[in-house]
Chains A and B, each alone.
Chain A
Amino acid sequence: MNLRLTAAVAVGKLLIMALRVVGRAGTTLPGRVALALAPDLISEICRAVDNRIVVTGTNGKTTTSAMLDAVFRSAGQKVVRNVSGANLASGVASSLIEHATLAGHLLADILILELDEAAIPSLAPQVRPRLAVVTNLFRDQLDRFGELDRTATFVRRSLASAREVACLNADDPQVAGFQRSLPDGCRPVMYGVELSAPQQRPVPEHGVGVDVQYCFECGARFFYDFTTYGHLGHYTCPQCSSARPSLHVMGLITGGEEAVGGRVQLRLSGELAREAGVTELEINLRVPGIYNIYNALAAAAAAVASGVAAEDVRAGLEAFTGAFGRMERVQVSSGEFSLALVKNPAGFNEVLRTVQEDAGDKVLVLAVNDHAADGRDISWLWDVQFAQFSDSPEVSFISSGLRAHDMAVRLKYAQVPRERITVVPEPSAAVEAALDSSGGSAEVFVLCTYTAMLSLRSELSSRGAVPDMWKGVR
């Protein structure tokens, strides 16, 4: 028995309990203290479970991890996963401590860790995952990550720690390129989307939410057969041979744009199809949006590559109803609303697109904070597309958060009429104002940056409307 580890775990567990008594989530401090006592804690605890999976990328980490969790559970496996958003070293350590025995053992079949892109260079070698998933790379919190190319370098290098499989999004040119630098013994599993009726979406206008458009090999501008989400899509380089690689896991979307509600046909090929014993699988997702189709594909790819039976993959994904703060339905005494996290242009655009699929009257609360966890630089709001709302009298806005006025200015310059923009800086007051003004006849959507969501949740949970953060997730 490693006494240092045991002491660190014990201290960590005590801190978690103490913090919860005073109503705090305890997702970072216990881990930080325990890591100071036992710096090798993460690798020590991880060793107990051979099947370790890490999920990284800009958008979809939490949802993909939660979907994987659902899939493994439907296969009867015991899963340990880190708390949503606790994806830095301290958060990972806290989550491990919570589930470990005092001796530092994890009683689980699978360990699923969502890891922050900037923290992964130091965390991946400690975790040494059997399988790694990369969802996508979009511009995100440039004040913290620097340039997107830097983030990409972090993720690419960290894949050197993946022991057996790397599930990569083939539709993201930068992520797809990682397959060329995988370590020996690690095989790529490429997943992506195919549309039965291509070119349903216009190629995005100049410079909008599109981060990667130029070939990494020769610098020529990519040609897209279609784009699905930001710069994701089916690309080819007109100058050299670069193109989207062939897919091991294809998500075929049939029936046009409106079908992007969540029905997807999964097609497996090659070795994966042999392992799974099927080549086709029809999945009806209960969560909307093309981004959730990508999350489901990532989860399916990882699960099949981990030997989960196709039927369990389907059952798990179909049972999945949403991750923490990702279009979550919230009930309060004055009404009901949908709550979603927004943190970068690509994600924000897709959430807005999902909101627009709802045809009726809507009130949108947009709460933007500028703390470190949100990104101190709020420039990215100008890369979100709001122009579609200039001529939508059925949609009104309440801008909120520390940067409520910046949000309001953004809407104003998108030609949203001034009378449809209200500023209510305090997020829970903004939500109440939205529910009031909707009078029950309009749908209320609340879109928050990270800390705005945390402050809204703690306000709501003190009134019993939502579970505390640590109760809301496993």
Chain B
Amino acid sequence: MRIRIAHLYPDLMNLYGDRGNIIALRRRCEWRGIEVQVEAIDVGGQLGPGDWDLLFIGGGQDRQQELVWRDLQDKKDALLQAAEDGVVMLAVCGGYQLFGRSYQTSVGEQIPGVGIFDMETVAGENRIIGDAVIESSLLLEPRTLVGFENHAGRTRLGEGSRPLGSVLVGRGNNGRDDSEGCVCGNAFGTYLHGSFLPKNPHFTDHLLSRVLERRGESPALASLDDDLEWQAHETARLRARRVTRRFRPRSLR
């Protein structure tokens, strides 16, 4: 059994240790005897249909995202087809924004997105920066997901979109409606990095289970000793509460 992972723009879109997500996916497969193949897809690179089980894109700086969004337009059809085929996707921060319908920059320029997520993002006046804890809408145990958010964009989900979770600590998609991230079929988007997957092992395994299921295998994964991961998860949860209390959304005060 071999899982094929596409890492989109690993050089351009790797702002907050995003490669940690790839490392987490790889290790958690390898520790279970599942083979993993990770391939980098750069600007100009081909994204053939049916080649991938899982696709990851991280965040980048404005200058780099400029290069990326243009290239994504060339890959748009292939990506939408992959999403339709149920390829598992994780898009973090800047990549998450670009997987929405559009992004409006601080000078009002409208950048088209891939459109996998029904959502729109508008650059805000200031950056949302801090630890974040969300309660996920997925059937995870525990329900919490932890990470760090650092984004200027304010994202609004469309009517039919489902958030990845609701904000317990932090600001999430826009600092107003308590939503964080987006789920659409097997595609997941979030503002959380940190890196995100290593200290959310349940979510990492959730992604891998979806991959197995789509391949027609049993989604059950052998259990691992995640003692360190859960302690890191718990530390992040507690630190977030302590440090970021003043950023809590109005509804939770």
Q: How far in angstroms is the closest Cβ of chain B from A409?
A: 5
A379 within 8 A of B: yes
Given A149-B62, A206-B40, A379 contacting B195 (CB threshold 8 A): yes
A421, B194: Cα distance in complex, Å: 21
Q: Which residues of A contact B131 (CB under 8 A)?
A: 376
CB of A142 within 8 A of CB of B15, answer yes
Q: Which residues of A contact B20 (CB under 8 A)?
A: 379, 382, 410, 413
A157 within 8 A of B: no
Q: Which residues of B contact A357 (CB under 8 A)?
A: none
A280 within 8 A of B: no
Q: Which residues of A contact B16 (CB under 8 A)?
A: 142, 377, 379-380
A252 within 8 A of B: no
- Partner of A207 from the list B19, B129, B225, B235 (CB cut-off 8 Å) is B19
B117 within 8 A of A: no
- Partner of A370 from the list B17, B198, B239 (CB cut-off 8 Å) is B239
Q: Which residues of B contact A219 (CB under 8 A)?
A: 67
- Partner of A405 from the list B17, B24, B67, B228 (CB cut-off 8 Å) is B228
CB of A148 within 8 A of CB of B61, answer yes
A387, B117: Cα distance in complex, Å: 35
CB of A402 within 8 A of CB of B239, answer yes
Among A21-29, A118-126, A208-216, A427-435, the one that faces the other chain is A208-216
State how many residues of chain B have any CB contact under 8 Å with chain A: 41
Within 8 A of A (CB), among B207-248: 225, 228-229, 231-232, 234-236, 239, 243
Q: Which residues of A contact B243 (CB under 8 A)?
A: 370, 376
Residue in chain B with minimal CB distance to A204: B11
- Partner of B23 from the list A142, A406, A413 (CB cut-off 8 Å) is A413
Q: Which residues of A contact B234 (CB under 8 A)?
A: 405
A412, B150: Cα distance in complex, Å: 26
B127 within 8 A of A: yes
Within 8 A of A (CB), among B1-54: 7, 10-12, 14-20, 23-24, 27, 40
Within 8 A of B (CB), among A124-167: 139, 142-143, 146-149
Task: List 11 additional A-B contacts (Cβ < 8 Å) besides A206-B14, A381-B17, A413-B27.
Answer: A139-B15, A147-B15, A206-B19, A376-B148, A377-B129, A379-B194, A382-B18, A383-B19, A410-B198, A415-B27, A423-B228
- Going nearest first, the 4 A-B pairs with the smallest beta carbon separation are A382-B17, A382-B20, A379-B17, A207-B14
A-B contact pairs, 28 of them (CB 8 A): A139-B15, A142-B15, A143-B148, A146-B127, A149-B62, A206-B10, A207-B10, A207-B11, A214-B67, A377-B148, A377-B193, A379-B148, A379-B193, A379-B195, A380-B17, A383-B17, A383-B19, A403-B239, A404-B235, A405-B232, A405-B235, A406-B199, A408-B228, A408-B231, A409-B228, A412-B228, A413-B23, A423-B228
